[in-house]
């Protein structure tokens, strides 16, 4: 109908060879800027996480690539989604672990840098350090809606 907005599901994802490739100690985080959003204003609808290790993770979203700030008025935290250890499932007792969180109510996200990037951090909530590359590979996929799908 005329005047209605058309929404389309899009996906942006990290690359196992270039994102989250460093070791991440327990309760530490690694920041990344994922390029390729179709716009600067989106609604996050779902998050998929693939990991070589069965870890608990927090996925943190930021409105700017400067991420957190000690001044709470300047901090650009958007939302945090937790993946408990039990959320990560393995198929057939071997190989990588998979987790998925659907957002019943979407997370409004605005890239205040206007760079069409998703500013995200991965926080290791397990007691073991995530290895760098190889056995520590992680892929994050974020499914989102954008107006008109452009």
For the chain, helix, strand, coil in percent to 5 are 5, 50, 45
- CB 63 within 8 Å of CB 78: yes
Nearest partner of 89 among 61, 54, 118, 45, judged by Cα: 54
Q: For residue 94, give every residue at least 6 positions away whose Cβ sits within 8 Å of its Cβ, in sequence order, or none.
A: none
pLDDT tier, 50 (very low <50, low <70, confident <90, very high otherwise): very high
**5: its two tokens:** 């907005």
Residue 5 has pLDDT above 80, yes or no: no
Beta strand 29-35 with 7-13 is: unpaired
DSSP secondary structure code for residue 74 in this structure = T
pTM of the model: 0.91
**97: its two tokens:** 């672990």
26-37: pLDDT as tens digits? 999 999 999 999
Distance CA 115, CA 100 (A): 27
DSSP secondary structure code for residue 26 in this structure = T
94-129: pLDDT as tens digits? 899 999 999 999 999 999 999 999 999 999 999 999
- CB 63 within 8 Å of CB 149: no
DSSP secondary structure code for residue 27 in this structure = T
């Amino acid at each position: 109908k005329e005047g209605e907005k058309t929404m389309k599901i899009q996906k942006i994802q990290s690359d196992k060879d270039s994102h989250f490739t460093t070791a991440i100690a327990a309760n530490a985080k690694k920041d990344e800027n994922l390029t390729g959003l179709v716009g600067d204003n989106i609604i996050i609808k779902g998050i998929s996480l693939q990991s070589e290790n069965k870890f608990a993770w927090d996925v943190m979203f930021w409105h700017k690539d400067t991420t957190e700030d000690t001044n709470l008025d300047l901090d650009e935290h958007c939302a945090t989604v937790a993946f408990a250890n039990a959320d990560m499932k393995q198929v057939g007792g071997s190989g990588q672990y998979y987790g998925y969180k659907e957002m019943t109510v979407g997370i409004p996200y605005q890239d205040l840098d206007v760079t069409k990037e998703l500013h995200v951090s991965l926080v290791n909530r397990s007691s073991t350090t995530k290895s760098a590359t190889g056995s520590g590979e992680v892929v994050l996929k974020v499914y989102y809606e954008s107006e008109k799908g452009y």
